[in-house]
Structure 1
Amino acid sequence: MKQMKRSYKSISLALLVTVAAGAYSCTDNFEEINTNKTKLTSLDESGTENAFAAAQYRSIQASWQTYQSLFADLQGQYFANIAQNFASDRNVMVGNWLNGAWNGFYGTAVPALLGVLENTGPGGKYENAGKFAIANIWKVYMYLPRTDYWGPIPYSKVGSGEASVPYDSQESIYKDFLATLKTSTATLEGLKGSTVFGTVDQIYAGDVNKWILFANTLRLRIAMRMSKVEPALAKTEAEAAVAGGTLATNADDAFLKVNANSFNPMNQATAWNEFRMSAAMESVLKGYSDPRISKYYAPVPGTVNTFKGLRNGYTQGQLEAPENKANATSNVADAFLPAVQASNPFAIMYTSEAYFLKAEGVLKGWNMGTGTAKEFYEKGIETAFKQWGIADATVISSYINGTTPPAALADFSKTPALSDIPVKFSTDPAKQLEQIITQKWLANYPNGHEAWAEYRRTGYPKLYARINSENPDTPKDAVLRRTPFVIGEQQTNAAAVTDAITKLGGEDKSSTRLWWDKP
């Protein structure tokens, strides 16, 4: 982590662009690049705003393949791997991929954000309370999945100039997240109706009202995540978030705008032909006759309406079976193909999630405003359908009242149905939680980070065991709980990593539970 000691102060915006272009493919010369004394040492006001745009994009784009596609998307079982030489679907913690993912985030996204925070914060050269608040909200969003991968990570001291950057415990990070969101929304409440950043903000074009809703929904998500380990605090934070107002209609959905220069990384990655529809998604979407199946995935080549997934964890030999090959399984839908990578916006957060979080909150006895768990659940489904252009009230009603369970599959492994729950809301509270999380899983597609995190937290949906695991710490029928600390950090920031393991509360293994991940 030594390369982070001078983050931002020695990196100009132009240099950040250069680093972003190559950080995930080659990071050997990052230290040299980061200390180049011929580069600018500060950002002007325009550069500060552009740095916010860079932080938004790079926190999504940096190492998307090696960070999300090859780990979270497979662990959350939106997809299964078909690339024979890729072992992460068999629970192998491929070190160079994770190292690249770490460097992509800390080497490109974080420096840009630090520039914004330093310049717009109290005493900053371009002090602006609204910009500082929104930048802090985005900081929480971009750090959340990182701590949910590793647990303790460098956070509070990043950019401080220290030679060895310490790791914060996940507990302290989560609590800082909540405090940051509370403070930031309070600031923005005084700026309601105004615009901050303008079109430089690639999500809401600076709409303060939308950022308040986004921040409160993010606060609700975080509170729910920690609800087992800190139930009282989680309840307080969740109720405050709902009282402040969460995402309410599809007009509030958060999407990152893209163009030819800042394209959708998922669309780009589909050209590499590495993953296909998972068996878990096939079982649920088919069993529920879910019309979103064609929005998410494409029919098997040469067919009109045949969708086929495959199990996670096949060996190289099993992937050779004709029915598991690329031309016999469902790729992503056309909206996720490379041809539209410059026009398909990247999904950040859907409004439907707010309703599913509220539904679960009601089950916990939290004050989630006016509505029952059933009402919030059904509103979540309705909102999710409309997000994908399915607005026919009859179709939505029929789905909500569906009584069929997920389907058994006539596949290579003769896979049974994923679960026995229907869509129609049960009178059994235990079934209700499974239904809420299963529908949230469907609605959050293709956000694998949330799918994996919520699966670890709740055990839902009841995802399939892997066919094979090559990780002795996480056998095929076990849940991968985290990713180990990266080799680059062990080599350059060893003392901090050693301390981080004590903060983790267990061995540096994929089987060690995170702070919030309690049985």
Structure 2
Amino acid sequence: MKRSYKILSFALLTTVAAATYSCTGNFEEINTNPTKLTELDESGTENAYAAAQYRSIFAAWQTYQSLFADLQGQYFANVAQGFSSDRNVMVGNWLNGAWNDFYGTAIPALLGVLENTGPGGKYENPGKFAMANIWKVYMYLPRTDYWGPIPYSKVGSGEASVPYDSQEFIYKDFITTLKASTATLETLKGTKVFGSVDQIYAGDVNKWILFANTLRLRIAMRMSEAEPALAKTEAESAAAAGTLATNADDAFLKVTPNSFNPMNQATAWNEFRMSAAMESVLKGYSDPRISKYYAPVPGTTNTFKGLRNGYTQGELGQPINAASATSNVADAFLPAVQGTNPFAIMYASEAYFLKAEGALKGWNMGTGTAKDFYEKGIEIAMKQWGIADAAAITAYINGTTPPVALADFVKSPALTDVPVKFSTVPAKQLEQIITQKWLANYPNGHEAWAEYRRTGYPKLYARINSDNPDSPKDAVVRRTPYVDSEKQTNQAAVTEAISLLGGPDNSATRLWWDKP
């Protein structure tokens, strides 16, 4: 990874975070070691932690999440006629920017924190070191789930060419890191670490322990087909240690008018709208969250309209598929509130759906059955979006209507035949659990895409068209190929990474955890 990293100037995160993706006015060159930060004082180290939190979310959000994961997970469909990623095109310059922004702005900030707060560091602090390591796992997880083997353990070592680690190594190190970090934080329960500099939990150690355990449960479930014995052990351990339980535990990244929500910013560009998959499910289930997620078609009061993924430029030019004829995001995701709408990191409802799947596998997830955890997950998810009426939630949980067919451009059939009411058939139960987790995790496209690859659920629509011969319209995009900047400057490491990948460097090769 031969590059000169650039980092945020850490005077104040809220001063510098207003920089756009292409602006470099608020960045500074690193010293003579191209993989390390300039000298940071103690205050600078804390601001570097805040920068690592924000930059790992903000960095190339549009070209990294919105134009890839959100479309592959089918929360949204593309309406920008000049864009092709919704037709499975792996747009190189977009992915290149996503890679370079992550390794060039988010990771250097994190490295500064780990170096200064770790053993022997200038400001050695076990609690800060533990929290930074938990965030490190969160930062790296979607990146390895995009590419597979990536630079990980040797980043920041000072080597001119940084080798890639296998995804198996990375996932197992995630587990080790989270366990070590929570063990440290257990000794600090009831205290604050980083304080207000931590933009998620304001330094609340107890909350970070729950977050880390839930993240470990997510990781264990993801690797459940690749390493079933280890996954079971770690999932049971994480569940027993305590996971996110109520919406008071939900993890949101706080924003300001300067360090704003990147999704809210992007909605101004009219690039995406509600997907047909979401329309079919939300309407079929009479899901009250439909108006929390999306807006009615302009000029109507209660008409919600999605569109299929993968339309050609000509098909997108049809009036029925126009942005003005389909549902945009709800008001909470519009630019007007980009400085106040916090960015969702992880919801407590996910913990219950993970436990429901674990119980379905026969794992010990604590007191409750798969059905119990499933229904609790729905309840928590509804309340998270402001739907508190107990009778309405109970009626939804017992709903027997399936998703609906659509009156769209291609007359799409119903997405699936499963209702909300928990089935007595195990195969249907798994589909229901993942479908409800998909609904609850909105708008986290990274998780939606990863879980779809892992489980095949929810049963998303095939694309109308694909311009990628490696991933035809009825195929699943399994990963994103390595970026050109790495092939040009770090070719030997990329070649080794492809051998670790175990298949061609294309969108059809499965990741380590993605088993047929």
> Which of 377, 382, 395 is the aligned partner of 1:380?
377
Distance 1:104 1:376 in 2: 38
> Which of 436, 443, 446 is the aligned partner of 2:443?
446
> Which of 93, 103, 107 is the aligned partner of 1:106?
103
Residue 317 in structure 1 maps to residue 317 in structure 2: no
Distance 1:250 1:20 in 2: 28
Residue 459 in structure 1 maps to residue 456 in structure 2: yes
Distance 1:102 1:51 in 2: 20
Q: Gaps (5+ residues) in structure 1?
A: none
Distance 2:498 2:37 in 1: 37
Distance 1:26 1:472 in 2: 35
Identity of aligned residues (%): 85
Question: Structure 1 residues 148 and 461, CA, compared in 2 at 3 Å: closer, same or farther?
Answer: same
Residue 80 of structure 1 aligns to a residue whose secondary structure is strand
Query: Shift of the alpha carbon at 1:55?
Result: 0.3
Query: Shift of the alpha carbon at 1:24?
Result: 3.6
1:84-483 paired onto structure 2 within 5 Å: 84-483=81-480
CA contact 1:287–1:405 (8 Å) conserved in 2: yes
CA contact 2:257–2:339 (8 Å) conserved in 1: yes
Residue 151 of structure 2 aligns to a residue whose secondary structure is coil
Residue 105 of structure 1 aligns to a residue whose secondary structure is helix
Residue 2 of structure 1 aligns to a residue whose secondary structure is coil
CA contact 2:15–2:258 (8 Å) conserved in 1: no
Distance 1:130 1:456 in 2: 35
Q: Match for residue 71 of structure 2? A: 74
Distance 1:88 1:17 in 2: 32
CA contact 1:24–1:103 (8 Å) conserved in 2: no
Residue 332 of structure 1 aligns to a residue whose secondary structure is coil
Query: Shift of the alpha carbon at 1:261?
Result: 1.1
CA contact 1:20–1:104 (8 Å) conserved in 2: no
Q: Gaps (5+ residues) in structure 2?
A: none
Per-residue CA deviations over 1:9-61 (Å, capped at 9, x if unaligned) read xx86359999976684278xx9x944589x98210000100110000000000
Residue 164 of structure 2 aligns to a residue whose secondary structure is coil
Per-residue CA deviations over 1:72-98 (Å, capped at 9, x if unaligned) read 000000000000000000000000000
Query: Shift of the alpha carbon at 1:393?
Result: 0.2
CA contact 2:13–2:259 (8 Å) conserved in 1: no
Per-residue CA deviations over 1:145-174 (Å, capped at 9, x if unaligned) read 000000000000001000101000000000
The code of the aligned residue for 1:185 comes to T
The code of the aligned residue for 2:186 comes to E
Per-residue CA deviations over 1:471-501 (Å, capped at 9, x if unaligned) read 0000000000000000000011111100100
Query: Shift of the alpha carbon at 1:511?
Result: 0.1
The code of the aligned residue for 2:233 comes to T
Per-residue CA deviations over 1:278-308 (Å, capped at 9, x if unaligned) read 0000000000000000000000000000000
Distance 1:265 1:23 in 2: 10
Query: Shift of the alpha carbon at 1:120?
Result: 0.3
Distance 1:226 1:345 in 2: 30
Q: Match for residue 485 of structure 2? A: 488
Distance 1:40 1:129 in 2: 20
Distance 2:335 2:261 in 1: 9
Distance 2:394 2:241 in 1: 30
The code of the aligned residue for 1:261 comes to N
Distance 1:337 1:19 in 2: 22
CA contact 1:23–1:104 (8 Å) conserved in 2: no
CA contact 2:12–2:47 (8 Å) conserved in 1: no
The code of the aligned residue for 1:66 comes to T
Question: Structure 1 residues 17 and 260, CA, compared in 2 at 3 Å: closer, same or farther?
Answer: closer
Distance 2:490 2:316 in 1: 39
Question: Structure 1 residues 252 and 22, CA, compared in 2 at 3 Å: closer, same or farther?
Answer: closer
Distance 1:462 1:339 in 2: 34
CA contact 2:6–2:105 (8 Å) conserved in 1: no
Distance 2:185 2:66 in 1: 34
Distance 1:16 1:254 in 2: 19
Output the aligned Cα RMSD.
2.0
Distance 1:394 1:150 in 2: 44
CA contact 1:296–1:332 (8 Å) conserved in 2: yes
Distance 1:15 1:260 in 2: 14
Distance 1:307 1:268 in 2: 22
Residue 2 in structure 1 maps to residue 8 in structure 2: no
Distance 1:75 1:18 in 2: 34
CA contact 2:59–2:101 (8 Å) conserved in 1: yes
CA contact 2:31–2:38 (8 Å) conserved in 1: no
Per-residue CA deviations over 1:239-276 (Å, capped at 9, x if unaligned) read 11011100000000000000011000000000000000
The code of the aligned residue for 2:513 comes to W
Residue 13 of structure 1 aligns to a residue whose secondary structure is coil
Query: Shift of the alpha carbon at 1:3?
Result: 1.4
Distance 2:268 2:23 in 1: 21
Distance 2:393 2:17 in 1: 43
Residue 396 of structure 2 aligns to a residue whose secondary structure is helix
CA contact 2:280–2:406 (8 Å) conserved in 1: yes
